[in-house]
Structure 1
Amino acid sequence: MAPSVAAVLTVSAVVAALLAPLFVALPSGTCPAVCLTLPAVLLLLWVRRLRRRDARTDRRVCVLVLGDIGRSPRMQYHALSLSRHGYRVSFVGFLDSKPHPDVMKEEKIRMVSMAEVKAAGGPKLFSYAMKVVLQSVQLLWVLLRMELQAHVLMQNPPGLPGIAVAWLVCVLRGSNFIIDWHNYGYTIMALSHGAGHPVVRLAKWYEHFFGPLATHHLCVTNAMKDDLQRNWGIKARTLYDRPASIFRETPLQLQHQLFVRLARTHPQFQGSEEDEESSVFTVREPTGGAVSLRTKRPALLLSSTSWTEDEDFSILLKALEEYEGFVGGGAPLPDVVCVITGKGPQKEHYRKLMGALRLQHVKICTPWLEAEDYPLLLGSADVGVCLHKSSSGLDLPMKVVDMFGCCLPVCAIRFRCLQELVKHEENGLIFTDSAELAEQLKSLLSEFPRPGRLGAFRRNLQTTRGQSWDENWDQNVLPLITNQG
């Protein structure tokens, strides 16, 4: 159900009360009720204009991300699923990195770019407050200028100030407001500020107050669904992340083409200097042009990250140092090329740590991959590593979902509810520290390049794919959009 007229009247009354001081200069005989009622009437007339519907309104949906659209795969999948069912999507967010080509070429999806507001100078609290105010004004302007949308589907986090602004716009325009809970914003803020920081306490109150005002709710795990019900009074539907169809095992020919491209900018992929069309992993036969894997190739270890506080990459670096010690001590293990892809605030910090390492049998590189190359690299890797440690303990790493779509076995760090995705000794391994991760890498690669345990995990992933994203979405989200849920 859309926000009620009562809510509109409430907003009108608040605005009237705020504007009342402007009328104190009117003649003394003027009725105070008229002074207070006039703004409310004008606002209601404006709201009526904002709610002007046409035959196409019910087929329009706004998908909102107060972040980089290109790094929000789940919201891109939402937009594609909506367009697949004939809805016209206004996709609002920052265009810092390129979204997936399927999103860009879909005629029913219109990108609406917002400029990210940077924090100003001065005291931190004042700077943050100004950023929130400016972001609110910009978002309000963007949403109110749009054609009337039947639904606004918003990602949280980030939810400050987006939840309050989107809710207000939905009230004014009679739209349904749907929040897709990926995590809690205040728990992410607590990683850098501490749980007792005033801004963190404010963010927690904000999410608890405005979050329940949405019409419908989605979330990423059953653990989060239970927490929302128990502690927030929110009834949500679990929509598990599923890999898009682009995430699959990469054919050898495409692997070779990708490795050769990467070798031009990253020496870790280079084969021989004499042959620019070879890589350290693959070689093209001089006669016939057939591609084959090198017998003495290194293992390709892959991790992806946003380089934020909820991922401690020093764990991986220490594990790689221990792995180096295993090889140097005579263990029959392959060399490793470790690729860590992604953008984020802590990237330079970790790159300095990597530069200080003295490794002969392990090579590390940190490329930024285009959207079309990322699934190809996942589908070419031998083992994945995930260091995502949920700030709330209630969300699951999308990177592992994508890895599983490529049938790539994973070593993932333990946290609450991870078992909803990673089954220890079935589709991967769960570790708690760098020493355990090093031992797991040693065990998994001890038979490389023969399949060994990695091959068993890969076969399990091939036979337990479960529902596709489209099936999952049609079952859990489409009924909300069509007002049948």
Structure 2
Amino acid sequence: MFVVLSASVGGVLLALLITGFAAAFVLRARYGRDPDPNHVAVLVLGDLARSPRTLAHALSLAAHGFTVSLIGYPGAALPPAIAAHPRLRVVTIAATRGIGTSLGAARPTSAPMPRVGVSRQLRTGIRKVVCDTWRLVAAVLTLGDDRRSTTPSCLLVQNPPAVPTLAVAALLAWILRARVVVDWHNFAYSLLALKLDMPSLLRAMQFYEQLAGDQATAHLCVSHAMAEELEERWGLHGPITAFHDRPRPAFIPLPDAEQRAFLEGFAPDLAQRRYAPQPRITEEVVDAAANTRTVTYPASHDPRAHAPLLLVSSTSWTADEDFDALLLAMRIYDDEATPPRAEPISRLLEMVITGRGPLKAHYERLIHAHPWRFIHLRTAWLDDDDYPRLLASADVGISLHKSSSGLDLPMKIVDLFGAGTPVLAWAYPTLENEMVRAGVNGATFTDADTLAAHLLRLAQVGAADHELATWRRGAREFGATRWEETWASKVLPVFHDIKAKAAVETAARAAAAATATAASSAASVSDRGPDKKEL
């Protein structure tokens, strides 16, 4: 059965390949006219609103005079700066369910894994590749047919996803006589390994990603470690620029008064516990059945000495972030937090988890099922205005990003640093070498016990104030270097170089065409012979 299935699939793929080659030559003859050296098409097979680095690239290109076509899936509302920019046009294409979306992300041990047959995965994946290829090709080729636009001379492509984006970008570049720049956020094959345990498929995916990626003219990537991997182990040609994410303009520290105003609107109960007078606890009644904790305080004390520690974690609720470890750390804290009459006193923890994703409902059930004593946990989805304010109002951010490749860096930490908030982050070498410096702008952990130990230390009243203040200074220093100034010095020269080459090639083709036209006209006159009036 498997042999028959493989043969039929191979026949379909061969037919598609032959048809594709024939169509490519026809399209090159139709669309391979001179591209606009100033036009960049930015491609991402994902929800545009959830692709902040790609949106930032598009805005920066437009701000520096390029005409930008931003192509991707529709979803949440785009920032006003994108939607209203006169040099930036948004083109949406319909999303197609595929292997990733039909299976969702890989499940943690606490979540059930659905049974999906290999043949179904294969059929769904092929359908997605075909549909996405058609939609991407149509979206890019028709840019030049619109009176409002021109044919792009450069395609900026986000990876992952790699299938079919990298191959389609290479094909479009050949058809349009354009160039490709790949922005490597991570490796698609390493993300696929979280979902499928099929070594042969993963090796094939890595080979494809390497081969298709090598067709690009230039490469951007999110870390120095990734740049080294692409250059030394993958052997990619073309310049490779390591460009770290940097805070966007909205992510800035907030004064205490603005933090309080935001929290009072976002969660009045949280603001009440954080800002109301909270001196030493003298009496406590815990009702486990009702999941409540009632306390009585004396009349006078430092009103902020016992304020809860506000923690925030932003997530897409996928399996490359270990929320089982986070919940275990919270339970350890809840069990070991110092009793209220002992010294030193442990603060309450206020934990806000933001974001949407496939595992959110599963973890919400686990959160609500536990009788917390010293912790208040809540999940939330915030708009583009409120999310930076929440980060700036937090005492500490928590990053559970493990990195499937070990080479990418989480943008959520960049956002936290931009807001002046230090982090506790899951440790891996690239993160520790290039972003989170222990004792300077936060600390790292590799398991629930270490995370709980950090929280128990930081939550001791008065004991960790100096440490947190040091971390905040380090976070602000990191966040002081902003996206635009770094982008202008590292990324803009890449596109200026491509623009200059495209302009030279366009001029050369125009000169060649003029010469050919002149020669053709001369030959036509010669073929007609002398004018009768001259006889």
The Cα shift of 1:464 comes to 4.5
The Cα shift of 1:307 comes to 1.1
Distance 2:124 2:136 in 1: 18
The Cα shift of 1:442 comes to 1.4
AA paired with 2:41? Answer: C
2:246 to 226, 242, 247: 242
User: Within the alignment, does 1:98 sit opposite 2:98 as a pair?
Assistant: no
User: Within the alignment, does 1:281 sit opposite 2:255 as a pair?
Assistant: no
Any idea what SS the aligned residue of 1:392 has? coil
The Cα shift of 1:332 comes to 0.8
User: Within the alignment, does 1:446 sit opposite 2:460 as a pair?
Assistant: yes
User: Within the alignment, does 1:218 sit opposite 2:220 as a pair?
Assistant: yes
Inter-CA distance 45–69: structure 2 relative to 1 (3 Å threshold) = closer
Contact between 1:222 and 1:238, CA under 8 Å: does it hold in 2? yes
- The match for 2:313 is 303
The Cα shift of 1:256 comes to 3.0
The Cα shift of 1:342 comes to 1.0
Q: How many residues get paired? A: 432
- The match for 1:432 is 446
Cα-to-partner distance string for 1:315-340 (whole Å, 9 max, x where unaligned):
11111111112325445111111011
In the alignment, structure 2 segments of 5+ residues that lack a partner are 1-13, 103-115, 145-150, 278-302, 501-535
TM-score computed with the length of structure 2 as normaliser: 0.75
Distance 1:157 1:49 in 2: 30
- The match for 2:109 is none
- The equivalences for 1:65-84 within 5 A come to 65-84=44-63
Moved more, 307-316 or 250-259: 250-259
Distance 1:15 1:477 in 2: 40
1:161 to 164, 168, 175: 164
The Cα shift of 1:130 comes to 1.3
Any idea what SS the aligned residue of 2:199 has? coil
- The match for 2:519 is none
Contact between 1:256 and 1:279, CA under 8 Å: does it hold in 2? no
The Cα shift of 1:451 comes to 3.2
Any idea what SS the aligned residue of 2:135 has? helix
The Cα shift of 1:71 comes to 1.3
Cα-to-partner distance string for 1:287-343 (whole Å, 9 max, x where unaligned):
xxxxxx856432110011111111111111111111112325445111111011111
1:354 to 364, 367, 379: 367
Contact between 1:59 and 1:87, CA under 8 Å: does it hold in 2? yes
- The equivalences for 1:388-407 within 5 A come to 388-407=401-420
2:377 to 364, 380, 390: 364
Inter-CA distance 324–116: structure 2 relative to 1 (3 Å threshold) = same
- The equivalences for 1:59-458 within 5 A come to 59-119=38-98, 123-147=120-144, 148-194=151-197, 196=199, 198=201, 200-234=202-236, 235-263=239-267, 269-270=268-269, 279-282=272-275, 296-327=306-337, 329-330=339-340, 332-419=345-432, 420-447=434-461, 451-458=465-472
Contact between 1:444 and 1:452, CA under 8 Å: does it hold in 2? no
Distance 1:159 1:102 in 2: 28
Moved more, 360-369 or 448-457: 448-457
The Cα shift of 1:19 comes to 6.5
- The match for 1:47 is 28
In the alignment, structure 1 segments of 5+ residues that lack a partner are 1-13, 21-38, 264-268, 272-277, 285-292
Inter-CA distance 158–371: structure 2 relative to 1 (3 Å threshold) = same
Distance 1:402 1:87 in 2: 26
The Cα shift of 1:401 comes to 0.9
The Cα shift of 1:450 comes to 7.7
AA paired with 1:67? Answer: G
Contact between 1:334 and 1:448, CA under 8 Å: does it hold in 2? no
Contact between 2:48 and 2:78, CA under 8 Å: does it hold in 1? yes
Identity of aligned residues (%): 36
Q: Give the number of the structure whose alpha-carbon radius of gyration is greater.
A: 2
The Cα shift of 1:44 comes to 5.2
